[in-house]
Structures are given as structure tokens and as C-alpha cells.
Amino acid sequence: MKITSIPQIYRNVRRWTEIVSVLSRYGLADWISRFNLEFAKDALKARDGEAIARHTREARIRMALTELGPTFIKLGQLLSTRPDVVGVDLADELSALQSSVAADPPDKIRELVESELGQPVEELFIDFDDQPIASASIGQVHQAKLASGERVVVKVQHPGIESTVREDLDVLAGLAQLAEMIPEFQAYRPAATVAEMARTLRRELDFGREERNLQQFELQLADNLSVRIPKPITELCTSRVLTMEFIDGVKLKETEQLITAGIDLGEVARRGAELYLDMIFMHGFYHADPHPGNIVVLPGNVIGLLDFGMVGRIDERLREDIEEMLLSIVNQDVTILTSLIQKVGTPPSDLDEGALAIDIADFVGHYATQSLDHFDLGGALTDMTQIIHRYGVSLPPQVGLLIKTFVTLEGTTKMLSPKFSLMEVMQPFQRKMLLRRLSPKRQWRKMRRLYFEVEQLANVLPRRIGEILEQIRTGKFDVHLDHRGLGPSVNRLVLALMASSLFLGSALLLSQHIAPVLIFPEGTYFGLERVSILGLTGCVISILVGLRLLRAIGKSGHLDRRD
């Protein structure tokens, strides 16, 4: 841990104590469950009275994060989008985390709204419902009515949430530094994961970013009459208050009300799938949480999207790679798919490419032969993620979020229409993707990008070459080599040289009978009448050291290996 983090630990000592206490309790429960001590399993209980040790390891992690509060719940929700890092089982468990918290008192909410918007609530709204319709970890949502009679919803940030999140992020950064030192946690890349979560949380704390998301989606989907995006009321929006149009519809999870209202569930599923595929593959900017609670249906099978705090962005290069991966699965091209996985992700230095190619071939052979109407997209993405996690390949956060979005989207469409196939809707998009890749406009854009990169290289290369030549001329050119795995070998080499030197020196002492000398009064032993004590001691020590070295080399398996 860095010395600079000590003041943070001291400042947040109360929170550190609370977190360590919770983690210790759940860690002890994990130990009890591993040793199967039935008599002790009911000793440790969660806040709701459940016996912790009787749950799975993944469930215990979810329960611990829930008990630690909003920031740690957000951490779990972020990790649920990274099955390539934490594994599919833990990601599935963490996706069940709920971020609902107790609502703040009405007087505090009104005070914050008035301080942010600069006017009393009564002058801003002719009606403001003090009872929130939802309360999550960052803020709570109230219904209101403008002077024009328009119904709106007002999303208000919890008072003091910024300081709470900042304190928890300091603690999490310290825990991540400690976790980096433990081999069992290094595979989860704790420092990088916490840094990514901190960036995500700080974005969510800025409601101005969500307002801009709403405006961008409204512009992007202006020509699509089958979708409604809440329009933000810009003059009533700040970084801590977001006022937007109220969309009155039936939530997607209320299927019985949808059927009663005469909504065609199959048509809604098809429209929703086409909407998301268009956002992802045509625009590269999409609503990243297609949960049934975040989607409402309006008359005429019109889809309304809610909660734009979590959005996904895919740049053009990554989009091209994802499109290539989909096409390589359809064409059963294992070589290209394996190369693309390594290109998109960050493979470990010791990646077994042959074994990865074999597993990818099995994956392609299993899913490429399935008919579209029975294709299990969620299962395919889950299996692919398990392969990637097994070989330690780290995917970019955008890809992890996209995989979670697809899995959630398929689950939502299946809930509406069990026979619905997302792959059938994707098939026309594959043709669109191929035509778009071959379009002159796309090729011209790629040529412009290539020209820009070559131009940059042409501008930088002469100067860099000049700098290298100048360093060579002045004798300042250094080549830095990073030796990995040579430490034990060098130590053994040094010890062997010392043992051999000790043996040679001791042999000289023995041959010259250097004092102190041990004299045998009753004759000779092994032909010797007297022996140098220092020489004998040195020989014994050098022989023991030599035997120790042979044993160590033999245990490492490198004694007689031929490369």
C-alpha cells in the first residue's frame, strides 16, 4: 500500500472498521462452509437473520455487498457486467443486486431542489408529490406538474450521497491495493476494476450527463415512431436535479395488464429487438439496461425507454471487430474467431493458443449448426464468456456491457413471447452489416483514417529517428532488458559458485595440513595421520550445499529437461 493512502485510511477509520467487520464475518462464514461444520453454520447471520454459511459463495458475496451499502452495490452491479473477470456464476448472482434504499424526508428533498434551481418548489411546479415513486442508491424520483399542466418526473440526488461515495471509493481503493498483494485476488484485477467503477459512479453522480444522453437519443431516434424517449426540461435540470417528461405507459413486467390493454406482445418483442440492434450496430450508442422495469408500452405498441443512467458506446473499430466475430461464427471460421478474441481482448502472456482454438472450434461446431428459431443466444454468449474467462483473456468494459445487454434483452423478449428468436431478427442485420462494411462511404472513411495515421507516423518518425541517432552519438542510448524468472536461477548459480570455491579452498587446507590440525594418535584413518579442521569443515559444508542445490533443481523439474 502506498504511503500517500495512509491519511485516507485515518480519515475514514470508522468506515474501514465497519467494512472490515462485515468482510471478516462473511469470510469466516466462507471458511465454515468449506469445512462443512454443520453445528457452526447457524452461528453467523446476516442483517435479515439468514444463516450466512448455508448460502453459496456467490450468494455470500452478494449479501456482503448489499450489507455494505450503495457504493458496494454499485460495485457488484458493475462486476455483473464483467463475467470475463469474475466468472459467469458470480456475474449472474450479482445481477440480482437491488439498489433500492430508503427515501429521504420531503423537507430535505425540497431544500435540495430549491438550492439547485434557485426558486421555491411551489413556484417551479404547481404540484409536487412528496412521496417518491422510486428510490435508488444515487437518487429518488418524484412526480410533479408544470405550470403548463404538463406532467413530469423529477429525479433528485440524495443529499450527502457525494461525500458517502467519495469516502467509500477511498476505502475501496485501499482495499484494492491490499488485494493486489494476494495471489487469489490478482486474477480479478482489483485496482483496475475499482478505478473503472469509480469513473462509472462519478458519471452517475452527474445528472447533467444523463440529460445529455436523453438529448442524444432523442436526436438519434427522431425518425423512429415506434419508440418514445423522455424529453428533458433543460431549464429545470442541474447536475443534481433532472426534470423530464413523464411517459405514462404499462411497464413491460406487468404482462397481464399489457394483454388486457390489447397489446401485441410478440410485436412489442420484435420492435424492441430491432430497436436495440439498430442502436448497437447502426449508431454504436445504446440504452444498456433493457430490464422489464425500465421499459413501458404505450398504445399502438409504442415502446418507451426509461432510466438512461447506464448507456453503452462502441467505437467504429470495436463495432467492426464484433461484426467480424458474428460473421465468423455464422461462417464457422475458427481461425478468424480465435484471432479476433485475442485482438479485442487482452490475452495473458502464457496463453495456450492451441487449446483456445480447440475450445472455440467446439463452441462454433455446437452453435453454428443450430436453427435460428431454436438458437440460444444467451447460452452462446455465456459459453463464450466462460471460455474467455477460463483462458484469462480480459475484454474491454464496453464488450462486457454489450454481452450483458444482449443476455438481458433476450430474457426480456422471451418473457413477452417464449417462441421469439432474437437471432431471427439479427439475420437481416447481418446482411445490413455486410453491405455497410462494403459501402463506398465506409471504405472512404477507413481510407481517411488510414491516411491520418500514416500522416501522423510520417510526422513523428523522422524526429524520433533523429533523437535515437543523437542519443547514440552522445553515448546516452540505453537498452533496457526485463529479465523474468531468472531470480531463482541466478541465486542457484551464485550459491553453486560459492560452494565450489569453498570446496576448492577447503581441499587446499586439507592438503597443506593448515592449523588447527586434528592428529590421530592410534594410526591413520583413510590413509591420513592428521587433518586440517578448517579444511574438513569447509568440505562438509560445501558438499551439503551441493546436495541441497541438486535437490532444489530436481524438484523444479529442470534437471535434465531438453527444450
My answer on whether 320 and 190 are in the same domain is no
pLDDT at 236: 93
The structure's pTM equals: 0.69
Evaluate whether residue 300 is within a structural domain: no
Q: Is there a domain that residue 195 lies in?
A: yes
Phi–psi pair at 120, nearest 5 degrees: -60, 150
Residue 222 domain-assigned? Answer: no
- Please tell me whether residues 57 and 176 are part of one structural domain: yes
The number of C-alpha atoms within 13 Å of 498 and in the hemisphere containing its C-beta is 10
Q: Which residue range(s) make up the domain with 373?
A: 312-442
Amino acid at 428: P
Rounded distance between C-alpha atoms, residue 197 and residue 203, angstroms: 10
Residue 510 and residue 410 share a domain: no
527 and 426 in a common domain: no
Q: Which cell is 218 given?
A: 432523442
pLDDT of residue 70: 75
Structurally, the chain folds into a number of domains equal to 3
SS3 for 443-476 is: HHHHHHHHHHHHHHHHHHHHHHHHHHHHHHHHCC
Whether residue 255 is contained in a domain is answered as no
User: What is the structure's pLDDT at 52?
Assistant: 65
Statement to judge: residues 501 and 364 lie in one domain: no
Confidence (pLDDT) at 512 = 80
- Residue 177: Cβ within 10 Å count: 15
What is the structure's pLDDT at 180?
Answer: 77
Domain match, 326 and 433 both: yes
Last residue of some domain: 378, 407, 442? 442
Q: Are strands 250-251 and 517-519 parallel, antiparallel or unpaired?
A: unpaired
Q: Based on the domain organization, do 61 and 186 belong to the same domain?
A: yes
Query: Is residue 73 located within the same domain as residue 191?
Result: yes
Q: Are 516 and 437 members of one domain?
A: no
What residues have CB less than 8 Å from 26, skipping those under 6 apart? 44, 52, 60, 61, 63, 64
**473-484 burial, b if ≥16 CB within 10 A, otherwise e?**
eeeeeeeeeeee
Residue 141 counted as domain residue: no
| CB contact at 8 A, 503 and 543 | yes
For residue 59, the model assigns a pLDDT of 79
- Look at residue 120 and tell me if it is in a domain: no
Q: Which three cell numbers stand for residue 133?
A: 415513486
Which pLDDT value is given to residue 235? 93
Asked if residue 301 lies in contact with residue 264, where contact means CB atoms within 8 angstroms, the answer is yes
Instruction: Please answer whether residues 289 and 412 qualify as being in contact, where contact means their C-beta atoms are separated by less than 8 angstroms.
Output: no
Give the pLDDT confidence score for residue 243 in this predicted structure: 94
> What's the pLDDT score for residue 184?
64
Any domain includes 181: yes
Domain boundary among 153, 173, 201: 201
Yes or no: say if 111 and 120 are a contact pair by the CB < 8 Å rule. no
Residue 169: predicted pLDDT: 83
Q: Are residues 410 and 316 in the same domain?
A: yes
In 67-215, at which residue ranges do the beta strands (DSSP E only) sit? 127-128, 134-135, 139-145, 151-157
**Adjacent-strand bridge partners of 490:** none
The verdict on residue 239 lying in a domain is no
Burial class (CB in 10 A: 0-12, 13-18, 19+), 260: exposed
**Which run of H or of E encompasses 26?**
helix 13-35
CA pair distance 531, 519, nearest whole angstrom = 7
Whether the upstream peptide bond of residue 7 has omega within 30° of 0, thus cis, is no
Same domain, 179 and 87: yes
Q: Are residues 349 and 428 in the same domain?
A: yes
* Spatial contact of 143 and 133, defined as CB atoms under 8 Å apart: yes
User: Over its length of 563 residues, how does the chain's per-residue pLDDT go in tens digits?
Assistant: 454 444 555 456 777 777 777 766 666 555 555 555 554 455 555 555 566 666 677 777 788 787 777 778 877 877 777 776 777 788 878 877 766 667 889 999 999 999 999 999 999 999 999 999 888 878 889 999 998 899 999 999 988 888 888 888 888 887 788 777 777 666 667 787 788 778 888 888 889 999 999 999 999 998 888 899 999 999 999 999 999 999 988 888 788 888 888 888 888 888 888 898 888 888 888 998 888 888 899 988 889 998 887 888 888 788 878 777 877 776 777 888 888 888 888 888 778 888 888 888 888 888 777 666 667 777 788 888 888 888 888 888 888 888 888 888 888 888 888 888 777 777 776 677 667 766 777 777 778 878 888 888 888 888 888 888 888 888 877 777 666 666 677 777 888 888 888 888 888 887 787 778 777 666 555 556 677 888 888 888 888 888 888 887 777 655 555 54
What pLDDT, on the 0 to 100 scale, is given for residue 45? 55
d(CA 509, CA 524): 18
Which amino acid, one-letter code, is at 263? I
Give CA–CA dist 191/186, Å, rounded: 9
201, 228, 248 - which closes a domain: 201
